[in-house]
C-alpha cells in the first residue's frame, strides 16, 4: 500500500511518518485491497482552538471505494488515533453491510419519515444566531461544487462551515452505501424514484431514517395533477 503524508501550514516530522507507517496495518487488516492512503495534517492557527489545533484527514482507496475520516485534537498523534478509529469502524460497517446484502440475509430496515415541508420547523426551539455584517462576510458567497468555507461568528467560539454538495439521483439503498463510505451520520441525495431532494441518516445499530424534502406548493400541485389524471 502506498502511503502519502503531507502537511498544511506545518512541516511533518519523520517520527510522525514512522508512526503512520506502523499503524496503517489496521487498515489493511480490514480492507486488504487498499492501494493508497493519503494523510493530511493541518495546523489550525487560531489560538482559541488550541484543543483542536491539529487536524488529521485520512483518505484511502480500497478497490473502487474511497473512504475518508478526519479528527482534531491538541496534537497530531492523538488526532491520528481518533481518525484511524473512525476509519476502521467505517470499513467494518461497509464490510458487514456487504455481508448483510447476501440473498440469505435479511435486508436492513429503513424508516421512511415521508416528505418534510420546508415551512415546518424541525427543531421546536431553534437557536437564533446573529450573523456578523461586513463586506468580508462569506456565508452568502457563491461556492463551486465540492468547495467549502468556514466562518467564525464575530468574537464567539461558533464556527460555521458551508459546503456545496452536488446531489446525484440514486436509490435509498445506494445513498446508505455512500453514507457509510464517507463516514457521516447523514447523506444528501436526490431520490431517483420520487425526484425529491432527500436525506438518509443513521438512527441506531442497522436502523436508518430517510427524509424527503419538498414544498407545500409542489405537494398540492402533484395532488392536483393526480386527481386530473384519474378523471
Q: What topology does CATH give the domain 110-230?
A: SHC Adaptor Protein (3.30.505)
Q: Do domains 2-100 and 110-230 have the same CATH topology?
A: no
Q: DSSP string of 22-72?
A: HHTHHHHHH-TTEEEEEEEEEE---GGGGGG-EEEEEEEEETTEEEEEEEE
CATH top class, domain 2-100? alpha beta
Please tell me the least confidently modeled range out of 10-14, 26-30, 176-180, 190-194.
176-180
Q: State the pTM of this model.
A: 0.50
Express each pLDDT in 1-53 by its tens digit.
Answer: 889 999 988 899 999 999 999 999 888 888 888 888 999 999 887 766 677 78
Joined together, the cell numbers standing for residue 15 give 517520527
Residues 163 and 140: their CA atoms lie apart, in Å, by: 11
- Span 155-180, average pLDDT: 80
Express each pLDDT in 114-142 by its tens digit.
Answer: 444 434 444 444 444 444 454 344 555 66
DSSP designation for 109: P
Q: How far is CA 81 from CA 7, 78, 97, 106, 220, in A?
A: 17, 5, 24, 34, 51
Residues 124 and 115: their CA atoms lie apart, in Å, by: 18
Joined together, the cell numbers standing for residue 161 give 462551515
Domain ranges of the chain: 2-100, 110-230
- Span 175-187, average pLDDT: 78
Amino acid at each position: 500500500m502506498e502511503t502519502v503524508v503531507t502537511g498544511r501550514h506545518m512541516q511533518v516530522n519523520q517520527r510522525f511518518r514512522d508512526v503512520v507507517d506502523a499503524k496503517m496495518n489496521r487498515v489493511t487488516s480490514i480492507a486488504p485491497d487498499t492501494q493508497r492512503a493519503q494523510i493530511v495534517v493541518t495546523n489550525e492557527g487560531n489560538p482559541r482552538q488550541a484543543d483542536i489545533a491539529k487536524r488529521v484527514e485520512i483518505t484511502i482507496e480500497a478497490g473502487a471505494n474511497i473512504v475518508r475520516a478526519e479528527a482534531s485534537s491538541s496534537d497530531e498523534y492523538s488526532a491520528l488515533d481518533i481518525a484511524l478509529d473512525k476509519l476502521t469502524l467505517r470499513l467494518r460497517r461497509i464490510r458487514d453491510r456487504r455481508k448483510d446484502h447476501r440473498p440469505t440475509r435479511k435486508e436492513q430496515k429503513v424508516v421512511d419519515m415521508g416528505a418534510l415541508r420546508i415551512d415546518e420547523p424541525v427543531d421546536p426551539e431553534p437557536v437564533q444566531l446573529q450573523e456578523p455584517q461586513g463586506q468580508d462576510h462569506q456565508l452568502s458567497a457563491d461556492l463551486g461544487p465540492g468547495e467549502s468555507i468556514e466562518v467564525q461568528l464575530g468574537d464567539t467560539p461558533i464556527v460555521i462551515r458551508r459546503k456545496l454538495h452536488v446531489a446525484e439521483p440514486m436509490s435509498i439503498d445506494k445513498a446508505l452505501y455512500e453514507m457509510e463510505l464517507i463516514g457521516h451520520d447523514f447523506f444528501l441525495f436526490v431520490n431517483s424514484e420520487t425526484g425529491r431532494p432527500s436525506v438518509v441518516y443513521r438512527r441506531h445499530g442497522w436502523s436508518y431514517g430517510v427524509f424527503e424534502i419538498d414544498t407545500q406548493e409542489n405537494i398540492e400541485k402533484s395532488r392536483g395533477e393526480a386527481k386530473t389524471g384519474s378523471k
